[in-house]
Amino acid sequence: MKNHLRKAVESMREHYIQKLIDAGMYQSTDETLHSLTLTELETLASRIDHPQ
Q: What is the per-residue pLDDT for 21? A: 95
Q: What is the per-residue pLDDT for 50? A: 77
Helix pair 2-22, 38-49: axis angle to 10 deg: 40
Q: pTM value?
A: 0.86
Question: DSSP characters for the chain?
Answer: -HHHHHHHHHHHHHHHHHHHHHTTSS-TT-HHHHHS-HHHHHHHHHHHHS--
Report which residue type is found at 35.
Answer: S
Return d(Cα 50, Cα 4) in angstroms, integer: 30
Q: What is the per-residue pLDDT for 49? A: 79
10-52 confidence digits (pLDDT tens): 999 999 999 999 999 899 899 999 999 999 999 999 998 777 6
